[in-house]
């Protein structure tokens, strides 16, 4: 391997949330229990310098050690930023396959951007070592908490497991298996947030018949199929998650024995004991996870939907004292319950049995929604990826399910419509539009069927158009339908939200004009400074979506942005998520499909004229073709595969 692959370092801006105690793990666990011992050795402080950038770092205390590396606390002398730094001596990676493992870890980890995954900052090497700079979590790891506490309360376990599952869903969506989930690899930040770390054994997911049969990981957390040399799959990570849950609740791993061979035997035969003090939901969940057959195990979505989570209290935050002592946990207070009721009323969920006058509801919304949005969106909507528009659901929504859209009563819509007309008569404009999602689907099916039926086989795509045609596409998106709705940013820099109640709100690129749709056939337009009182709650959500996407998400391709030219805003009619892709249908006939695993996108635009197909590849480079050219000349197998999948998806929607 070329040493230059480590230089220059790949850096990501942004400061870590605290200072982190890191443990580096060997290829196999240092102990069969998976317990992490705090090293006592402290090496003298010295200065480490990046030979390329000249940045100097003060090397501090030893945080942990493993088979290949030691981990130290280091401080950037120019910025005072603190990192946890893996230091790998060249002597430990002298053989090609050893160096390849380090390269693999770097390449996997540096592309991960998620609230509950340890941040990769940058790396470099000098004549002695390779240095990997990581987020620094000051409250050590779950292994240290477990060592102090031995067992945790069920609400605490739910708190940590939800964060682990959030990170795992993100990893699996990107086709990455962690393969070494254990207490010592879950790090705790200054503000008590869990971060999954140590990707030394992580690997990209392979088809079942191509999986590597290597037994790797920590003995107590290995899945039966791994011990039987059938390879790792997503289900193997789920098994390890079950072992983590058991360990936190019961005080020891489920298959721990005094003899390693006996431990392996217990794992293969799934022999373990459920203590009597466990709750019934906890026992049922563990039994659903620790299944010998990987296909019978609960999925991550099913785990979150289990009564252990849905019927049990999960604290929003844990006190730092819980690292060493049992915390005092209080159930939700009445004020929080009121927040939930107001949110459900505002965003189309089941209405309260106690009817309130419109003025009373508006007063409650005005007082509560801003605080609710700030505390809820800002804390939870922080899943960042390399391509930030690929944000996974933030709650238990199944990727294969369509969005939950609860349409408000027609009478309520008419009431809102009359109210808006009355209060905004001097400043609002009313427009009519009657494009439907079914019409877009029918048109798209006809186009694709015709194209796929006549196009000849080909090895490559036809010549792309020399210049970009002006059309609008989704450059960023956020799925927050578990609370509010689906948000997106268009290439013209306008922001839209399709709320769970079926209403739609759009903010112009300059943030000066708002369009509000009660249905897909009627919408209002008014200055952002004069939004009607009854829409202030939704306006607050829209503004937070806009701020979040602007600050945290990356544009999903290299297509140029285009300016708004005064026409009506593009209206999102429908969005659908499957296990492979996201489909978005718009009021002008445009539809876009984003594929999760490789971040490729297919956009169909100008369906009423000469239909254009734009393909954005995994490197975010875009190519636009006339659909008629693809029908005549054919396209690459890569694009053809995607077109066939899109047609199948559209046909399923047409039949739904």
Catalytic residue positions, numbered:
180
Cα angle for residues 135, 124, 17 (degrees, 5° grid):
10
**What's the Cα-to-Cα distance from 275 to each of 238, 249, 250, 251, 516, rounded to whole Å?**
21, 10, 7, 10, 55
- Tell whether 23 is in a known binding site: no
The rounded distance, in Å, linking the Cα atoms of 656 and 653 is 5
Residue pair 76/55 in contact by the 8 Å Cβ criterion: yes
CB atoms within 10 A of CB 247: 27
For residue 176, what is the enclosing H or E element? strand 176-177
Cα angle for residues 586, 590, 593 (degrees, 5° grid):
90
Single out the residue of 593, 617, 616, 592 nearest to residue 605, CA to CA.
592
**Strand, helix or coil for residue 105:** helix
In sequence order, which residues have a C-beta less than 8 Å from that of residue 326 and are 6 or more positions away?
149, 153
Single out the residue of 614, 473, 494 nearest to residue 565, CA to CA.
494
The rounded distance, in Å, linking the Cα atoms of 397 and 285 is 19
Q: What is the DSSP letter of 126?
A: -
Q: What is the DSSP letter of 217?
A: B
Residue pair 499/404 in contact by the 8 Å Cβ criterion: no
The rounded distance, in Å, linking the Cα atoms of 409 and 419 is 15
The rounded distance, in Å, linking the Cα atoms of 85 and 200 is 14
Give helix 234-250 / helix 154-173 axis angle, nearest 10°.
Answer: 170
User: Strand 474-480 relative to strand 572-577: parallel, antiparallel, unpaired?
Assistant: unpaired
Annotated binding-site residue numbers: 95
Annotated binding-site residue numbers for ATP: 95
């Amino acid at each position: 391997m070329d040493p230059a692959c480590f230089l220059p370092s790949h850096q990501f801006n942004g400061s870590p949330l605290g200072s982190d105690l890191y443990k580096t793990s060997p290829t196999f666990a240092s102990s069969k229990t998976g317990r992490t011992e705090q090293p006592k050795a402290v090496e003298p402080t010295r200065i480490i310098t990046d030979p390329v950038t000249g940045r100097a770092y003060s090397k501090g205390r030893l945080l942990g050690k493993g088979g290949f590396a030691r981990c130290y606390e280091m401080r950037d002398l120019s910025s005072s930023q603190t990192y946890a730094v893996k230091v790998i001596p060249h002597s430990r990676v002298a053989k090609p396959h050893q160096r390849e493992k380090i390269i693999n870890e770097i390449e996997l980890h540096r592309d991960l951007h998620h609230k509950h995954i340890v941040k990769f900052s940058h790396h470099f090497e000098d004549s002695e070592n390779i240095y990997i700079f990581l987020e620094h979590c000051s409250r050590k790891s779950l292994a240290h908490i477990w060592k102090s506490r031995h067992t945790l309360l069920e609400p605490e376990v739910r708190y940590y497991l939800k964060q682990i599952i959030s990170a795992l869903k993100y990893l699996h969506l990107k086709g990455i298996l962690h393969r070494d989930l254990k207490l010592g690899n879950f790090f705790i930040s200054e503000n008590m947030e869990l971060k999954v770390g140590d990707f030394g054994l992580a690997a990209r997911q392979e088809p079942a018949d191509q999986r590597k049969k290597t037994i790797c990981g920590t003995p107590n957390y290995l899945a039966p199929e791994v011990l039987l040399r059938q390879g790792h799959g997503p289900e193997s990570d789920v098994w390890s998650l079950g072992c983590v849950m058991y360990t936190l609740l019961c005080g020891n791993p489920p298959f721990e024995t005094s003899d390693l061979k006996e431990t392996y035997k217990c794992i293969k035969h799934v022999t373990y004991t459920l203590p009597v003090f466990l709750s019934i939901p906890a026992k049922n969940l563990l039994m659903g996870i620790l299944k010998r057959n990987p296909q019978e195990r609960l999925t991550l979505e099913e785990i979150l939907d289990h009564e252990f989570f849905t019927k049990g209290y999960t604290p929003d935050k844990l006190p730092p004292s819980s690292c060493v002592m049992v915390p005092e946990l209080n159930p939700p207070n009445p004020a929080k319950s009121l927040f939930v009721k107001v949110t459900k009323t505002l965003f189309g969920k089941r209405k309260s049995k106690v009817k309130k006058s419109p003025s009373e509801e508006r007063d409650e919304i005005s007082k509560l929604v801003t605080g609710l949005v700030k505390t809820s969106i800002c804390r939870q909507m922080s899943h960042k990826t390399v391509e930030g528009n690929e944000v996974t659901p933030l709650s238990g929504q199944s990727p294969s399910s369509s969005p939950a859209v609860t349409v408000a009563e027609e009478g309520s819509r008419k009431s809102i419509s009359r109210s808006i007309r009355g209060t905004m008569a001097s400043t609002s404009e009313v427009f009519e539009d009657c494009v439907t999602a079914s019409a877009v689907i029918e048109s798209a099916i006809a186009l694709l069927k015709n194209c796929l039926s006549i196009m000849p086989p080909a090895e490559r795509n036809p010549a792309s158009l020399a210049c970009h045609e002006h059309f609008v596409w989704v450059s960023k998106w956020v799925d927050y339908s578990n609370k509010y709705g689906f948000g997106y940013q268009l290439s013209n820099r306008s922001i839209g939200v399709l709320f769970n109640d079926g209403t739609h709100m759009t903010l112009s690129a300059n943030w000066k004009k708002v369009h509000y749709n009660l249905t897909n056939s009627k919408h209002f337009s008014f200055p952002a400074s004069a939004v009607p009182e009854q829409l202030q709650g939704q306006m607050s959500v829209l503004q937070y979506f806009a701020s979040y996407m602007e600050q945290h998400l990356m544009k999903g391709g290299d297509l140029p942005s285009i300016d708004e030219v005064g026409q009506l805003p593009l209206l999102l009619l429908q969005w659908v998520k499957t296990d492979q892709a996201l489909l978005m249908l718009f009021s002008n006939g445009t539809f876009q499909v984003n594929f999760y695993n490789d971040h490729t996108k297919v956009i169909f635009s100008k369906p009423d004229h000469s239909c254009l197909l734009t393909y954005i590849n995994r490197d975010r480079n875009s190519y636009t073709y006339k659909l008629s050219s693809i029908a005549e000349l054919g396209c690459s197998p890569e694009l053809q595969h995607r077109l066939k999948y899109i047609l199948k998806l559209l046909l399923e929607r047409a039949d739904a």
